[in-house]
Amino acid sequence: MEHTARDTAVQALRDREGKTSRYLRYLLVHTKLSPPDRALARELAMGEVRRRGTLDAVIRAYLSQPDKKLPTPIGEILRIALYQILFLDRVPNHAAVNEAVEQASRFHHKRQQGFINGLLRAILRDLPDEPTGVRPPASDAVPRDDGTAVRLGKAAFPDPQSHPAEYVAAAYSLPIALVQRWRERFGEEKALAFAQHSIARPPLICRVNASRSSVEAVLGSLVKDHQPSGAHENGLSVMIDPTDSLMSISAFREGLIQPQDPTATAVVASARLKPGMRVLDFCAAPGTKTTHLAERMENQGEIVAVDVNEEKTQRIETNCQRLGIDIVTTCTVENLGRLDLRSFDLVLVDVPCSNTGVLARRPEARWRFDEESLSQLIRDQFSLATAAGQYVAPGGQLLYSTCSIEPEECQQMAEKIAGRLEHLKLASQTLTPPDGATDPTRWHDGGFLAIFESV
């Protein structure tokens, strides 16, 4: 079968383990697509994951049997076509429909061509010729990433007045349990803002390698590479709208920049660091924070970067080489016993988490969220953090960070750590809600940082 961008996206979405992003990376390596088609395949596959709940709600509104589950790959084909119709203005509607019909044949479901064509054209008949700019919430309006909405011909979502949580879950493609949590903790307005942030297309933000360059110099290099870019308000990062892969950007190849969200950048920026220190980085792969630690230490001292296996530690070493860092030694978890306790000036533990602060960047995480998985994560986080805390030297610091905004993984976990490790005192904690969906110069993911001082 000839591989097109849309076919590649459908294949990625059919991964049996539901790991679309991982399978998509594999397919893009083994499929001959042009750079624009590679970008389209990524947009379609990850866009479908991000808006799957919304797309399914619209499709059900137009089915004669709304509760009937669509077989694979028909469901994927329909959702990808509808994603283009609702959210990609650059793709003509007729092209999205025609391609979906042809895909049914290429994926050996020719008998379903009439069904696909009829359903999509029924939806099209109800849509305005141009986006109306109507603002959500409304049960017949599909929210878009720019804050506007597309009006449908019938209600696809629960009524936002009588069933507000159910409306947000369906219209913004989120688990109902997560929406209810946000409403109870942050209130209706902020919960809706977080939902809007979760469907946005996140900008590519890169930390400038301060040991090699500056924001101004990097921006000049990006202009020469014809890469649209700008400075982030944090003063440490640049925003890039890449025309192809990162390897096509000279500033990346030369180790002048490292992809990193400003919230993650702020973690290391908050640490008490100086040249010559001895630092331990738990859960370090791919080395984004590890290299930032080294930059702030002026590449002087010692950093031990730990992760679960050699595949992950190799990624750390590759990033260090590109960024010109030579004070990092990698270590797998099984070799942790060789390190002396209470011997590091600073220990960073960036724990695996539910990722509820970074759903725009990691759309698959929304479909993994439930109370059972959260409970397991909490157990793992506590185990990792308390183990890491044993390596903090007198007078040193422990930094605990997550990409979550859930209290069990953030403030409550910080209190539990302080209660278990008597030699550590909780000095500060910062919860950063996701924000900046309408302004890339202000964009940042959500996350949490707790700083402990050794006494």
SS (H, E, C) 263-277: HHHHHHHCCCCCCCC
Residue type, 119: L
| Percent share of the chain, pLDDT over 70 | 98
Residue type, 86: L
Which pLDDT band holds residue 188 (cuts at 50, 70, 90)?
very high
Using DSSP, state whether 453 is helix, strand or coil: strand
Which pLDDT band holds residue 2 (cuts at 50, 70, 90)?
low
φ, ψ of residue 73 to 5 degrees: the values are: -95, 15
Residues 423-443 have a mean pLDDT of 95
Task: Kindly tell me if the per-residue pLDDT of 319 is higher than 90.
Answer: yes
| Percent share of the chain, pLDDT over 90 | 86
pLDDT at 45: 96
pLDDT tens per residue across span 60-73:
999 999 888 888 99
Is residue 126 within 8 A of residue 119, CB to CB? The reply is: no
pLDDT at 243: 67
Structural domains of the chain sorted by starting position, each given as residue range(s) with its CATH number in brackets: 5-198 (1.10.940.10), 213-254 (no CATH), 271-454 (3.40.50.150)
Residues 321-332 have a mean pLDDT of 97
* Bridge partners, 279 (sequence order): 303, 346
Q: What is the largest CA-CA distance in the chain?
A: 72
In eight-state DSSP terms, residue 326 is: -
Q: Which residue has the tokens 């403030």?
A: 411
Handedness of CA 263, 267, 273, 276 (dihedral sign): negative
Is residue 332 within 8 A of residue 310, CB to CB? The reply is: yes
Query: For all residues of the chain together, what is the average pLDDT?
Result: 94
Q: DSSP for 208-248, please give it.
A: E-TTT--HHHHHHHHHHTT--EEE-TTSSEEEE--SS-GGG
pLDDT tens per residue across span 116-168:
999 999 999 998 766 666 677 899 999 999 888 999 989 999 999 999 999 99
65-72: Cβ within 8 A, 24+ apart = 72/14
Residues 380-392 have a mean pLDDT of 97
pLDDT tens per residue across span 328-383:
999 999 999 899 999 999 999 999 999 999 999 999 999 999 999 999 999 999 99
Residue type, 222: L
Give the contacts of 29 (CB within 8 A, at least 6 positions apart): none
Task: Kindly tell me if the per-residue pLDDT of 178 is higher than 70.
Answer: yes
According to DSSP, the β-strands at 392-402 and 344-350 are parallel
